[in-house]
Structures are given as structure tokens and as C-alpha cells.
Amino acid sequence: MESTSPYRIPGMELIDHSFTLPLDYNDPAARKIKVFVREVRDLDPKSEEKPLLLFLQGGPGFRAPLPIKKEGWLKRALSEFRVLMYDTRGNGLSTPVSHQTLAAEGDAVEQADYLKHFRADNIVRDAEAIRAHMSPNEPWSTIGQSYGGWCTTTYLSLHPEGLKECFIFGGVPGLDRTAREIYEGTFPFMEERNRQYFEKFPMDKQRLVKLCRHLQQCDVRLPNGDRLTPRLVQLLGMQLGFAGTAEALHYLVEEAFVQVGGEEVVSHTFLKGVQTSLRFDSNPIFAILHEAIYAQRAATGWACDAVQKENYSHYDDYENFLFYGEMIFPWMFDEIGELREMKAAADILAAFDDWPELYDKDVLSRNKVPVACAVYYNDMFVNTRFTRETIDFVPNMQGWYTSEYEHCGLRTGGEKVFSRLIDLARGEIER
């Protein structure tokens, strides 16, 4: 472990830690990667004596939150914990996966073999290796946001001895649910989100139809050089799963066109907004491993694409424009420049049928670790029915069910929600 000296930002003290860990835990003497953790403390002189709370980020494919202000859930956490902002392998200041670095891994087969090591099982193994350095004699607490809850459930399966208590925000997986089942449950929810959006902003339907006609007739380029297509515009619907983002999407759509010399063209403001919203270029793990997070002993086979083609072909009718949600399609690896060179590796991963199990139901059936979960009835990203199946199955896992928050409850109501989950896990309140 390599660590910096403590340094300060307003209200907090930070220490950066870097760990050299195996790429493949079945061959620990072989290739190594770097994994980064930022320790966050408040300025209490006794903070270094506080227990550790590990943050497991959502995604997959995103770095840990950057501590800027002591507010929300972080403020509540720092009152009794030292918080570890954990850049899981492939992300942030850990050894990254990007279109730049992946190209250096060799051909598509070698790239796919490398990427197979970046799922929740190895995220958990890294965490336990880090705990061996930072909390060798004590289990620690974890907080999992979205996909971080998937990682938490894998942690409970592989290394429950490392866990004291767990808090999950909008991220309890269905233990046996396949990628296809996930998307069969997601599309109906997205149908409803589209209905709600166009009921709220009916003028946008015609705006988007007009835009799609224009994009089919004209070669319109994003600032990065990629051609803007109707399908890329549909991907903006992922924003509809967060509080306030329907309004932001509407304000972007209303700026789609601008008059230039008497001719209507797609505005730079809109093009820049689309490019900024579609983060697959800077977070490629989110695309290339997204369906793989659901895979256990079976291939995903581009499940979302199959469900859309079989049951939701009307999304291809741009005369009745509909947004997609959290959905990954093989055509994205043709239309998004930074993903293009990963296409062959993505196809290999979609066909791979020997993914290890992520959840041990026998271990989970005997769980003793207190787990408190915030479950959002209106969550666009996580199927509440599948979540309830798991909570009902795993002992000592409790759900707080609410319609007050969207998927971003940790961000918008963090201090309140986290306090409630702490009380729930410790038996101070009933769900």
C-alpha cells in the first residue's frame, strides 16, 4: 500500500491510498493492477479512530464520488465513520479501462479475456485485499449505490466475514434473474416513463419527430465527429430515471434547431448537450460490461437488443418517437466512436457462456450481516419485484420501501435516507 500524507479541503481531511493487486485472483503471482481508494475524514481530532465505511459506486464503470462538500449522506457518514471512496478496478485513478488502454491489450480475444476480470466478484476480492491492509482485525461497513448494491450482495456471498453492516441504495439484484428477464421488466417501465414525459411536454413529440427526419436526411455531426442518429437521441431517455432530469431533457430538446442564414440547422448547443449526456466514451465499462453484470453460467446474447426487436419494434418508428432507458445495444459499438474499436470484444463477451456465479444462495440463506436497503417504487433502473424477492430470501436483509425518491435518493435525500437505513440496520426502527 502506498499512501499520501493527509491533506485538507474545507471541513475534511483526505488521504490517498494505492494498492497493487492481482488482475486474476486465480493466478495472483501474475499480472498486477492498481486500485485507488481515497480516505475521507472529518476534522475531529479523534477521526482516525473511527471505523471504516467503504463506498461501492454505481454503474458499472464509474469512479467513486469526489468529496467536495461535507453535506448529504457524506456529512452523516463522517459523524461516525472514516469513508473510503473506492475507485473500483477499471475506473478513476485505479488502472483504467478506456478505448486508449484497451487497445494495448491486443486483439479482440485478448481484450475480452482482460475485461472478464472487471465484474463484481473481483471488485469484492479487491475490497477484501484492501481491508486486509486497512482493517485487518475488524469487519467494516459498506454503502452501495445502485450497482454498488449488486457488489454488496456478491460481497455477502464471497466474504461475509469482512462485513459488519451494509447499506444499499436502489441496488438489490435479483439473484437468479437473467439479463433477458431484466430487460423484459425494464421496457414496460420505460413505456410508462415515455407516456409521462410526453404528457408533461407534449410539444416535444413533434420536435423529436422533426429532428429524426432531419437526421435521416442530413449528415449531422456531434462535436467529437460522430454522426448524430435518431437512435443516439433515443439514448437520452436514460436521464428520465433521475429527479428533475425530465425538465432538463425538455430544455435541451427545445433548443434542437437554430436559424442560420434562413436555414434551420441542428444547434451546437443541442449537439454539445447530447455529447455531454452520452458518457459511453469516457465510461466504456458501462457499455461493454453492462449486460455481463447479470450473467451467471450463461451468455447474455445481447439480451436488450433481442427483447427490443421481438417485443418493442415500435421503438424503430421515429414518427412516434420514444426514448430508451438504461439499455445497451450492439449498434452503439458502430455509432459511438470510442466504442467502435471495442465492437469485436463486445460480441465475444455477449456470446461468452461460462461467467462465474456472482451470488451464493446457500451462503446468503444463512446471512447474519445486517443489511438495510432503500427501495424506490418508482426506480427506472432496478426492478422492485426482483428486489423484493431477494430481500424476502436473505435473512437480516430489510427493505425500506418508498415512493418519495427516484433512483438518485442517495444524492437528493442522502442525509435523511442514510440516517433511516442506519437506524433500520441497527434495530432502532422498524421498516
For 256-292, how does the pLDDT look when each residue is reduced to its tens digit (9 = 90+)?
999 999 899 999 999 999 999 998 888 899 999 999 9
197 phi/psi in degrees, rounded to 5 = -65, -50
Cα dihedral angle (290, 294, 297, 299), rounded to 10 degrees? Answer: -50
Q: Is 221 found in the same domain as 96?
A: no
Phi, psi of 164 (to 5 degrees): -95, -45
Distance (Å, whole) CA 382 – CA 376 = 9
Q: What integer is the mean pLDDT of 247-254?
A: 97
- Note whether 242 and 267 are same-domain residues: yes
CATH of the domain at 76: 3.40.50.1820
pLDDT for the residue numbered 381: 92
Amino acid at 269: T
Buried b (16+ CB within 10 A) or exposed e, 225-260: ebebbbbbbbbbbbbbbbeebbeebeebbeebbeee
- Characterize the bridge pairing of strands 32-42 and 82-87: antiparallel
**Within-domain flag for 431:** no
- 231 in the same domain as 317: yes
Q: Is residue 248 part of a domain?
A: yes
- Is the domain of 191 the same as that of 292? yes
Domain boundary among 351, 377, 403: 351
Question: Would you list the DSSP string of 323-388?
Answer: ---S---TTHHHHSHHHHTTHHHHHHHHH---PPPS--HHHHTT--S-EEEEEETT-SSS-HHHHH
Domain boundary among 351, 368, 393: 351
Q: Which of 17, 117, 290, 407 is catalytic?
A: 407
**Domain extent for 187:** 179-351
159 & 202 share domain: no
Query: What is the pLDDT, as a whole number, of residue 431?
Result: 57
The grid cell for 155 is 460481497
Annotated active-site residue in 87, 146, 290, 379: 146
Residue 203 forms part of a structural domain: yes
| 325 and 413 part of one domain | no
Instruction: Give residue 430's pLDDT.
Output: 67
Catalytic site includes residue 403: no
Question: Which DSSP string do the residues of 279-292 spell out, in sequence order?
Answer: TTTT-THHHHTTGG
Q: How many structural domains is the chain composed of? A: 2
List Cβ neighbours of 298 (8 Å cut-off, separation of 6 or more).
178, 353, 355
Given the residues 219, 354, 362, 392, select the one marked as catalytic.
Answer: 354
Q: Do 263 and 245 share a structural domain?
A: yes
146 catalytic? Reply is: yes
Identify the weakest region by mean pLDDT among 21-25, 80-84, 239-243, 416-420: 239-243
Lowest mean pLDDT among 205-209, 334-338, 409-413: 409-413
Is 316 an active-site residue? no
Among 300-309, 358-367, 404-413, where is mean pLDDT lowest? 404-413
